[in-house]
Amino acid sequence: MIVFSGDLDKAIASFILANGAAASGKKVTLFFTFWGLNILRKSEKVPVAKTFIGQMFGMMMPRGSRKLSLSRMNMLGMGAKMIRGVMNNNNVSSLEELMASAIHQGVEIVACQMSMDLMGIRQEELIDGVKIGGVGYYLGKADQSGINLFI
């Protein structure tokens, strides 16, 4: 799956699909590119050397999964809090739990090197367990797969 969006609801859907596929014995690769990389960012600030543009991107983008907004009805962050509450009340794992479960099940989490370079994101800023790869790596995985999704 290509995870292009950095919206909370799309991130949740991506990891629910990945966990379901992994639980059924499928090999799963999630390829995060552009805004999707924000899902993989650590929530705490990591001291790394960046260009001016990289610093600007870093300040404007959400840092980590807990800062993501909803694609619709965000309402200054209230929508994201509401969906997290509804998920909790219905015993649905949080995005962070879904991410940990996916990594535990062997889902391959890959960050796009080109997107990282363009947006000034460094590997040290990403959560543990993330591989770095390029378009060629993604295409190789997609070629081996019977299913390819873009989220």
pLDDT digits (tens, 9 = 90+) for 88-143: 999 999 999 999 999 999 999 999 999 999 999 999 999 999 999 999 999 999 99
DSSP class per residue in 59-115: HHS--SGGG---SS--GGGHHHHHHHHHHHHTTPPPHHHHHHHHHHTT-EEEEEHHH
Q: How many CB atoms lie within 10 A of CB 151?
A: 15
Distance CA 100, CA 96 (A): 6
Q: Average of pLDDT values for 17-41? A: 96
At 54 the pLDDT is 87
**53 CB contacts (<8 Å, ≥6 apart)?**
120
* pTM, 2 dp: 0.91
Strands 2-3 and 130-133: unpaired
One-letter identity of residue 18:
A
At 147 the pLDDT is 85
